[in-house]
């Protein structure tokens, strides 16, 4: 280990130690009487939530007078209403009761069901809302129609009432119109007159979708829309998606009382993607111009010159220029391009390259004069911020160091500052920082957030205040308002653990983990872990361990945020140790930590998890013959690979909704990490679970939702057949009608009881 790495590791450990001291002090300073209540699985998934009041979709109004948010009802945490905290009266109050507008059962269109599944939006009532730019009104969809709420008159008006479903609802920039998608076409509606205008005509026929995001954009690119208003409210840029090239997969959705056969256009890896075009139309729908796009490069499907992605589209403040990001199919090239509406000419501002893959982000901000922009790049191995001129010339690097930026939160041009969240202190915490736009001190960012833990930030338009949604391992999520200096102004939701808090009876029984680092088998890379031990352990007794794993890219399990009274705490109360480790390939550690998985999944990830188990073997209170593994989705895949390839370490496993054959997964995700299957045939074979199935020696349980449209149920049926052919015994639990997320109290209670029953039978 070199000197620089030793110093870095030392600082990481110091940060962990400081954080653990803070956790202990936080809990010590919380006056809670001793209680003896133990958790039940039913209580974990019942209302009211044990996490207390946890408002969602927090927003500071553009006029700075109120904070709005969504909150579940006390008697039904999945039914959401619109609330506000008035900054003048300092009171929370209900703005819109969703049941007062619609009290029946919501009937969602298939498109909206899929969209919400992609967004991970779970619940009913008001699930999304938007402010007008002047802060005078709110817009929200409910049961397929659009509602307009005027804050001064405190009245809600229904703007649409059709048998068709309106989705992706937006205010125009000046607040004169709303826009939405209906029947796969773009509509605008004049708020004052109520008159509608249909801007596109060919959506809904011949597999054409206008203004909508395709499957992989929703699921893998974090792009949930396909149209964008110009700031001057004169034009709308939109994507025209042709799904014709995408193969049709006949997918079964198995319910308790029926089986639905669904023709789904699913772009599995190596097959055709949609054909996509970028256009601009005026809001009268009279003039539509298509923008000429670069041709494909690298390996595509059948040499298709239109085989590329458009992950981002964004107007410049001048409304004269439109930017878009062009990504090659192999995701090794990304071009930021700009198109001028008047001249119809375009140019490339910058190009990013990688030998592995490029991670997408939302960190592109044009300054108000449209003459320069802020951009995030991993060109030095860590995600950092850069300032470029409109011509694409680098002005300066704004942040620098062996740590990553999360995302830009605010650009304060008046004072020459950028506010962003990042991991400059430790990868295990997210803080708010500021850095000057002049780039004079990229290695010396200033931390704004005070408390150790995880901070989610929403800024006011004037850059003077921000909302901080904060938690750490000891503190349930608290929401507060702060001055830009970080000074606390007021609580929006203190969520203090008091006798009235739902978690109060269980709080003293909650176990805090030990955080630490191990060295990977390369002899250099530090791996973060957290270890939970049952309360009141008996000296000399050895305990079973459950390794809870995810292990996939763009994820992080080991962090200093609130976990609450969850299944980990339940497992501890049943006498299990719980262990989690973030292996190489996971997020927030830089590209050198992510890239080892390229073209060979399930190899280095399993090796790192074995490093974790070898550490467990060294602990005198661990029974090394009773170490199990459990994970869902990529974690389900990791469970299978661990059970098949490392049976000496993992003695029982539960695999949830696993990918078993990467040829069944989608193009954008799978090819990012495994390349095109024609280029990396051997890598695909070795990354599937099937070559290792004969290695199963210990008890295995598999579960899967039978209506999963993300990790298709076919992954599990192929595994079932393989294990049967191998003569391997295993257990199986399927859930009719359940999607990938396994939603619903009844499903979650049954599933977790089944998991615990499995481990109890084999480990107790």
Q: Determine which helix (DSSP H) or strand (DSSP E) holds 604, and give its type and residue range.
A: helix 604-617
The answer to whether 13 and 517 are in contact (CB under 8 A) is yes
Give me the residues paired with residue 86 across strands.
Answer: 66, 91
- Cα–Cα distances in Å, from 269 out to 222, 319, 540, 592, 676? 18, 37, 52, 25, 7
What CA–CA distance (Å, rounded) separates 476 from 470?
8
List the catalytic residue out of 301, 328, 633, 688: 633
- For residue 666, give the DSSP letter: B
HEC secondary structure over 293-319: CCCCCCCCCCCCCCCEEEEEEEECCCC
Tokens of 268: 């599995």
Residues 112, 671, 352, 303, Cα dihedral to 10°: -100
Check 406, 425, 468, 708 and give the catalytic one: 708
Contact status, residue 166 vs residue 180, Cβ threshold 8 Å: yes
Residue 740 annotated in active site: yes
Residues across the chain: 764
**What's the rounded Cα separation, in Å, for the pair 736 and 713?**
11
**Catalytic (active site) residue 76:** no
- Residue among 387, 431, 632, 740 flagged as catalytic: 740
Instruction: Give yes or no for a contact between 238 and 646, defined as CB atoms under 8 angstroms apart.
Output: no
Residue with tokens 């499995």: 758
- Rg, C-alpha atoms of the chain: 26
For residue 741, what are its two tokens?
Answer: 């997320």
Closest residue by Cα to residue 666 from 309, 337, 421: 309
Helices 604-617 + 634-645 axis angle, to 10: 70
Concatenated DSSP letters for 432-500?
EEEEETT-S-TT-PEE---SSSEEEEEE-TTSSEEEEEEEETTEEEEEEEEETTS-EEEEEE-----TT
Beta bridge partners of 627: 545
How far is CA 37 from its chain centroid?
Answer: 33
Which contacts of 131-136 are long-range, i.e. CB under 8 A and separated by 24 or more positions? 131/59, 131/61, 131/62, 131/68, 131/171, 132/62, 132/171, 132/175, 133/62, 133/171, 133/173, 133/174, 133/175, 134/62, 134/63, 134/175, 135/61, 135/62, 135/63, 135/64, 135/65, 136/63, 136/175
By the 8 A CB rule, do 545 and 572 touch? no
674-683: b or e for each residue (b if 16 or more CB lie within 10 Å)?
Answer: bbbbeebeeb
Give yes or no: 363 in active site.
no
Interatomic CA distance for residues 372 and 390, integer angstroms: 5
Alpha helix (H) ranges present in 110-263? 110-119, 215-220
* Cα distance between residue 22 and residue 20, in whole Å: 5
57 CB-near residues (< 8 Å, 6+ apart): 68, 69, 70, 128, 129
Which residues are known to be catalytic? 633, 708, 740
């Amino acid at each position: 280990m070199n000197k620089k790495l030793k110093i870095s590791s030392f600082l990481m450990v110091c940060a962990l130690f400081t954080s653990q001291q803070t956790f202990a002090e936080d809990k010590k300073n919380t006056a809670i009487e001793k209680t003896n209540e133990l958790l039940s699985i039913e209580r974990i998934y019942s209302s009211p939530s044990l996490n207390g009041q946890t408002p969602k979709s927090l927003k500071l109004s553009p006029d700075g007078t109120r904070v709005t948010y969504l909150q579940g009802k006390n008697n039904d945490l999945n039914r959401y209403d619109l609330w506000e905290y008035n900054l003048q009266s300092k009171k929370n109050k209900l703005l819109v009761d969703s049941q007062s507008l619609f009290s029946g059962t919501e009937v969602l269109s298939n498109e909206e069901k899929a969209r919400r599944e992609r967004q991970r939006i779970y619940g009913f009532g008001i699930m999304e809302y938007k402010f007008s730019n002047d802060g005078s009104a709110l817009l929200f969809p409910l049961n397929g129609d659009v509602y307009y709420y005027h804050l001064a008159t405190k009245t809600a008006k229904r703007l649409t009432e059709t048998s068709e479903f309106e989705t992706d609802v937006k205010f125009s920039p000046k607040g004169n119109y709303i826009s939405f998608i209906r029947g796969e076409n773009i509509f605008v509606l004049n708020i004052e007159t109520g008159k509608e205008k249909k801007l596109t005509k060919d959506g809904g026929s011949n597999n054409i979708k206008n203004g909508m995001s395709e499957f992989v954009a929703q699921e893998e690119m974090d792009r949930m829309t396909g149209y964008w208003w110009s700031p001057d409210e004169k034009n709308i840029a939109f994507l025209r998606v042709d799904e014709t090239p995408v193969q049709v997969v006949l997918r079964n959705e198995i319910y308790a009382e029926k089986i639905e056969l669904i023709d789904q256009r699913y772009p599995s890896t190596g097959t055709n993607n949609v054909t996509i075009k970028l256009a601009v139309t005026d809001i009268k729908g009279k003039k539509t111009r298509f923008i000429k796009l670069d041709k494909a490069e690298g390996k595509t499907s059948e040499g298709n010159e239109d085989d590329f992605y458009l992950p981002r589209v964004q107007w410049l403040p001048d409304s004269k220029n439109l930017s878009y990001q062009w990504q090659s199919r192999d995701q090794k090239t990304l071009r930021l391009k700009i198109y001028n509406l008047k001249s119809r000419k375009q140019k490339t501002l910058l190009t990013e390259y990688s030998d592995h893959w490029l991670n997408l982000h939302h960190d592109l901000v044009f300054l108000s004069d449209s003459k320069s922009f802020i951009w995030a790049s991993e060109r030095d191995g860590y995600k950092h911020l850069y300032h470029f001129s409109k011509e694409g010339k680098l002005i300066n690097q704004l942040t620098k160091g062996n740590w990553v930026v999360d995302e830009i939160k605010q650009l304060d041009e008046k004072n020459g500052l950028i506010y962003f969240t990042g991991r400059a202190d430790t990868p295990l915490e997210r803080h708010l920082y500021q850095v000057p736009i002049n780039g004079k001190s990229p290695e010396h960012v200033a931390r704004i957030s005070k408390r150790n833990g995880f901070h989610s930030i929403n800024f006011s338009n004037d850059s003077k205040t921000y909302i901080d949604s904060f938690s750490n391992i000891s503190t349930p999520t608290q929401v507060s308002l702060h001055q830009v200096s970080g000074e606390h102004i007021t609580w929006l939701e203190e969520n203090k653990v008091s006798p009235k808090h739902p978690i109060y009876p269980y709080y003293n029984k909650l176990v805090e983990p030990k955080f630490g680092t191990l060295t990977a088998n390369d002899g250099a890379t530090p791996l973060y872990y957290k270890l939970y031990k049952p309360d009141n352990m008996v000296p000399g007794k050895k305990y079973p361990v459950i390794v809870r794993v995810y292990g996939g890219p763009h994820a992080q399990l080991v962090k200093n945020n609130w976990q609450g009274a969850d299944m980990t705490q339940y497992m501890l109360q049943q006498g299990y140790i719980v262990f989690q480790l973030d292996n190489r390939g996971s997020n927030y550690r830089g590209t050198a930590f992510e890239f080892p998985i390229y073209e060979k999944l399930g190899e280095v990830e399993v090796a790192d998890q074995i490093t974790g188990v070898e550490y467990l073997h060294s602990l005198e209170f661990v029974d090394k013959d009773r170490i199990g593994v459990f994970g869902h989705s990529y974690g389900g895949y990791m469970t299978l690979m661990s059970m098949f390839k490392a049976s000496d370490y993992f003695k029982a496993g539960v695999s949830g909704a696993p990918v078993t054959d990467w040829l069944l997964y989608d193009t954008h995700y799978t090819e990012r990490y495994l390349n095109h299957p024609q280029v990396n045939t051997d890598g695909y074979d070795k990354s599937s679970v099937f070559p290792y199935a004969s290695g199963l020696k210990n008890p295995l349980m598999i579960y899967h939702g039978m209506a999963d449209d993300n990790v298709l149920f076919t992954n599990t049926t192929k595994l079932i057949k393989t294990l049967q052919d191998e003569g391997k015994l295993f257990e199986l639990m399927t859930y009719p009608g359940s999607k990938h997320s396994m939603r619903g109290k009844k499903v979650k209670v049954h599933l977790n009881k089944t998991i615990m029953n499995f481990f109890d039978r084999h480990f107790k």
